Structure 1
Amino acid sequence: MALDLPPDPHFFVLEADVWGPHDTQFNKTEPVNRGDAPHCPRCGEAIGMLTWRPEYRVELELYGQGLGDFAEGPGYEVLISERMANAVRTEGLTGLLGFHAVEVVRMRRKRKGPKPGAVPRYFAATACFGHGAIDDVRSLVRRDEPVTCPECRNPGRDTIHGFVLEPGTWQGEDVFRPRGLQGRLLVSERFIQFVRRHGFTNMKLIPTREYILDPEHKGPPAGSPSSLI
């Protein structure tokens, strides 16, 4: 049965809200059991970092005033709170995988603030590699090197000054890593509504058309339009 997808969907880059009121980060605690990195099914090249396998043990770092529902750390895995994990399951949001219970072996406060209450239960999750692909023609991007594989579309981008997905490539996932930009988490409009409705914390949600990645301040690609098509 075909998915009933919106004709012109909008997407958002999901990042932790660094310097926000619930700024929470994590580090994996040794010994860390690592598995193979994911690979492109067509060209065989790695498209992600080494995976994380049991046991899932972490040290939380609290920079904000209170612990968040979402946390980033090394690797492609993220932590989500138990209340967020339950809501994802109950409401049927798609794209997050794993939901492995995490043991918090230590919590460090990294900036001044009130002593946090009980540490919530966290789960380790990963986002699926989606079929949605970056549209190079309609996006303001500059590549490191020419694309050699039409499936994974690696390597990545040197600079980004806003991007969109190719029409018809997204298959309805609410959280996913797009083809051609696997290092970023994208979320759907439904995910945005989900976060707002529940008040989940420590998430920055940036419209892809406004997303900028330009560490060397090179600016948009030469000859590019002033706005996205």
Structure 2
Amino acid sequence: MASELPTSPRFFVLEEGVLGSHYDADVDTVEPVNLADAPRCPRCGGFIGLLKWLPPYRVKLELHGEELGDFIENSAYDLLISERFAEAFRIEGLTGLDGFHPVEVLRVRRMRKGLRKPVTVPRYFVVSTCFGPAAVDPAFSRMRISEPPSCPECRMSGIDTIHGFTLEPGTWRGEDIFRPRGLVGDLVVSERFKDFVERHALTNVRLTPTEQFVRDPSNLGPAPLPTP
């Protein structure tokens, strides 16, 4: 857990549902796959994302669960969202997603044996996520950093573990979904987005308060508490 919990506003890390869940699915892009240059930091020129997916947007889906959900994460930068997710997002004026391009689903392959119920395939759209001005506050986050950031703009660094993090006060500009400076590969959402997900009962969405978010693939444990 982070050393000091945020009060207001609250933020959450957005991920897909857990592996093996009711809505577990994977995306395979179909040739031809056209890609544009990856985005770069305007200050240091370093990469702050992956190569950008361009049309045609054609995919095959592998369904490990029982049915397809409203959210499938192709990457932290390109997401598949259902039509009802997309429509509600735009109608309610939430911010942080761009694109909303229709996706052609060529095939859905069931990966779990014994399920013969026909698959209902939602109409999906591909959206990209913004790189927001909000920045991770290292003074009040529990992260093991092997390589400190060299650029004050993108704050890219080598992060070995995360055991809770907070955002630096005054850096958030109101986006409802964004990739923060210092953690450009993670999706962070506002409390308004959390309420939106719950109100519309959107599926295959997992939201974890940032101060409770853990990523520790080598089981190194939390970083030491900052010295007062």
TM-score by length of 2: 0.92
Partner Cα separation in structure 2 for residue 31 and residue 217 of structure 1: 40
Three-state SS of the structure 2 residue aligned to 1:131 is strand
Q: How does 1:109-120 map to 2 (within 5 A)?
A: 109-112=110-113, 113-120=115-122
Identity value in percent? 58
Which residue of 2 is the match for residue 77 of structure 1? 78
Q: How does 1:46-195 map to 2 (within 5 A)?
A: 46-74=47-75, 76-112=77-113, 113-195=115-197
Three-state SS of the structure 2 residue aligned to 1:197 is helix
Preserved contact between residue 134 and residue 181 of structure 1 (Cα < 8 Å):
yes
Change (3 A) 1:217 1:180: same
Which residue of 2 is the match for residue 202 of structure 1? 204
Taking only aligned residues, the RMSD between alpha carbons, in angstroms, comes to: 1.7
Partner Cα separation in structure 1 for residue 128 and residue 122 of structure 2: 19
- CA deviations on 1:160-202 (whole Å, 9 max, x unpaired) are 0000000111100000000000000011100111011111000
CA shift at 1:46, angstroms?
0.4
Partner Cα separation in structure 2 for residue 201 and residue 114 of structure 1: 21
Change (3 A) 1:74 1:177: closer
Partner Cα separation in structure 1 for residue 76 and residue 190 of structure 2: 22
CA shift at 1:117, angstroms?
3.7
Partner Cα separation in structure 2 for residue 181 and residue 117 of structure 1: 36
Partner Cα separation in structure 1 for residue 185 and residue 10 of structure 2: 19
CA shift at 1:62, angstroms?
1.1
Preserved contact between residue 67 and residue 120 of structure 2 (Cα < 8 Å):
no
Residue type matched to 1:196 in 2? E
- CA deviations on 1:55-101 (whole Å, 9 max, x unpaired) are 00011111111110000125620100011100001001100111111
CA shift at 1:144, angstroms?
2.6
Three-state SS of the structure 1 residue aligned to 2:109 is strand
Which residue of 2 is the match for residue 35 of structure 1? 36
Preserved contact between residue 34 and residue 52 of structure 1 (Cα < 8 Å):
yes
Unaligned runs of 5+ in 2: 1-6
Which residue of 1 is the match for residue 8 of structure 2? 8
Partner Cα separation in structure 1 for residue 206 and residue 221 of structure 2: 23
Preserved contact between residue 58 and residue 103 of structure 1 (Cα < 8 Å):
yes
Q: Which moved further from structure 2: 150-159 or 88-97?
A: 150-159
Preserved contact between residue 27 and residue 74 of structure 1 (Cα < 8 Å):
no
Which residue of 2 is the match for residue 3 of structure 1? none
Partner Cα separation in structure 2 for residue 48 and residue 74 of structure 1: 10
Preserved contact between residue 85 and residue 99 of structure 1 (Cα < 8 Å):
yes
Partner Cα separation in structure 1 for residue 201 and residue 104 of structure 2: 24
Three-state SS of the structure 2 residue aligned to 1:137 is helix
Residue type matched to 1:52 in 2? W
Unaligned runs of 5+ in 1: 1-6
TM-score by length of 1: 0.91
Partner Cα separation in structure 1 for residue 92 and residue 158 of structure 2: 33
Partner Cα separation in structure 2 for residue 75 and residue 136 of structure 1: 22
Partner Cα separation in structure 1 for residue 53 and residue 209 of structure 2: 29
Preserved contact between residue 148 and residue 158 of structure 2 (Cα < 8 Å):
no
